């Protein structure tokens, strides 16, 4: 891989294939950049890869597992092959909460009694 930019692009492409998450860019206005930077949701540290996402479905554990599985092949053979992958959920999409709410029985229907 020629540089970290290419790695970030590949990680962002892998993340885009994972259902239930959207990249959460740390920059609010990227219009001034010369090209789209999907990788702004991803930071590479010396032994840490941090990925910020918006979760559009629950539960979170399976989402984290799918993200880890998607990025592992991209990281393989790089300086970050053994790095910790940290998934940071910056937001929950409204749809994730509504699906979860629909799955639970309403206490309002039973007067708060079980």
Q: Are 49 and 13 in contact (CB under 8 A)?
A: no
Q: Are strands 48-55 and 84-92 parallel, antiparallel or unpaired?
A: parallel
Q: What is the pLDDT along the chain (114 residues), one digit of tens a residue?
A: 457 889 998 999 999 999 999 998 766 565 655 555 555 789 999 999 999 999 999 999 999 999 999 999 999 999 999 999 999 999 999 888 875 445 555 444 545 554
Q: Which residues contact 71 (CB under 8 A, 6 or more apart)?
A: 11, 14, 15, 49, 51, 85
If we measure between CA atoms, which residue out of 65, 20, 16 comes closest to residue 41? Answer: 16
pTM of the model: 0.75
């Amino acid at each position: 891989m020629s540089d970290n930019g290419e790695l970030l692009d590949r990680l962002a492409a892998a993340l885009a294939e994972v259902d239930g998450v959207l990249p959460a860019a740390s920059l609010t206005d990227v219009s001034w950049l010369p090209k789209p930077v999907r990788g702004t949701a991803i930071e590479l540290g010396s032994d840490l890869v941090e990925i910020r996402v918006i979760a559009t479905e629950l539960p979170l554990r399976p989402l984290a597992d799918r993200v880890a599985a998607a990025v592992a092949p991209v990281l393989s053979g790089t300086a970050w092959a053994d790095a910790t992958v940290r998934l940071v959920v910056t937001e929950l999409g409204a749809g994730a909460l509504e699906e979860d709410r629909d799955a639970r029985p309403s206490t309002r229907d039973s007067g708060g009694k079980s």
